[in-house]
Amino acid sequence: MFEFDLSPSFLVACAGGVQIIGYLLINQTYLRLTMLCSTSLYIVYYFYAAETPLWGAIAISTLTLVAILIGLAALYARNASWSLPEEHKDIYPLFNELQPGDFSKVMRMAKRMKIDQERVVTREGEEIDALYYVTSGHFTVRKGAAQFEVPGPTFIGEVAYLMGQPSAATTTLPAGTEVLEWPRDALARQSRKNPRLKLALEALISRDLAVKVSLAVSPDAKPVAGE
């Protein structure tokens, strides 16, 4: 038998220790790196643990190693700036809390357009057809007897989308407004199928709601004429 400087028992203890540390990590990159290290140590152990190498265990561990490397490559791609969709790079700063890969998933479902004439996108008390995000400019919100201007960038219809309720206000976009549109039903279906997409979208909406709550009292709100 080949005489190895480190005893097999010490080697397997090191591999197990690194693996245990990995399971305690939340960061996906660090977790995979520790799994990569521990799996490599296990492969070395399987070579020297017995009189002849344990080829079956080595083969399975090697496949595990390949899977870990693929996972690391996918993580890198998701976080790399080159994964941003070319046609939406200009608005990524509005969503920079998302990793580039998550941003790409969200934008894949969106239709980006410029409104050519005034358009009502939500009506108070009615179900919404889509979730909207105004990238710039102002739009009009009417709720009850109050009407006020809301500045972008911001979501429209996010509460109705999340809660599955009718819209709480009527929203009118002026001509020239650039907006992103996600069909509600298609977005909901994809969110159920893809937990990462769901989490990414909810992170965006949560940030937007936090900003709106901080500005909840509008000094510009005024009664609608005739009411």
Final residue of a structural domain among 56, 79, 102: 79
What is the C-alpha separation between 100 and 119, in angstroms, rounded?
A: 31
Kindly state whether residues 52 and 147 are assigned to the same domain.
no
> Residue 83 has which token pair?
């994964």
Kindly state whether residues 173 and 94 are assigned to the same domain.
yes
Final residue of a structural domain among 59, 79, 99: 79
Number of compact structural domains in the chain: 2
Identity of the amino acid at 103: F
With respect to residue 225, please indicate whether it lies within any of the assigned structural domains. no
Identity of the amino acid at 74: A
Kindly state whether residues 39 and 149 are assigned to the same domain.
no
- DSSP secondary structure letters along 91-105: GGGGGTTS-HHHHHH
- Compute and round to an integer the Cα radius of gyration of the chain: 26
Asked if pLDDT for residue 130 goes beyond 60, the answer is: yes
Kindly state whether residues 134 and 205 are assigned to the same domain.
yes
Model confidence at 102, in pLDDT bands (50, 70, 90)? confident
CATH code, domain with 130:
2.60.120.10
Average pLDDT over residues 162-175: 90
Kindly report, residue by residue over 188-207, the tens digit of the pLDDT: 888 888 887 788 788 888 88
What is the C-alpha separation between 188 and 202, in angstroms, rounded?
A: 12
What is the C-alpha separation between 101 and 175, in angstroms, rounded?
A: 32
Final residue of a structural domain among 35, 64, 79: 79
> Residue 207 has which token pair?
């940030």
Kindly state whether residues 198 and 88 are assigned to the same domain.
yes
Contact (Cβ atoms closer than 8 angstroms) between residue 169 and residue 122: yes
Q: 198 lies in which domain range?
A: 84-218
With respect to residue 1, please indicate whether it lies within any of the assigned structural domains. no
Helix, strand, coil distribution of the chain in percent, nearest 5: 55, 20, 30
Kindly report, residue by residue over 84-93, the tens digit of the pLDDT: 778 888 888 8
Bridge pairing between strands 170-173 and 138-143: antiparallel
Model confidence at 215, in pLDDT bands (50, 70, 90)? low
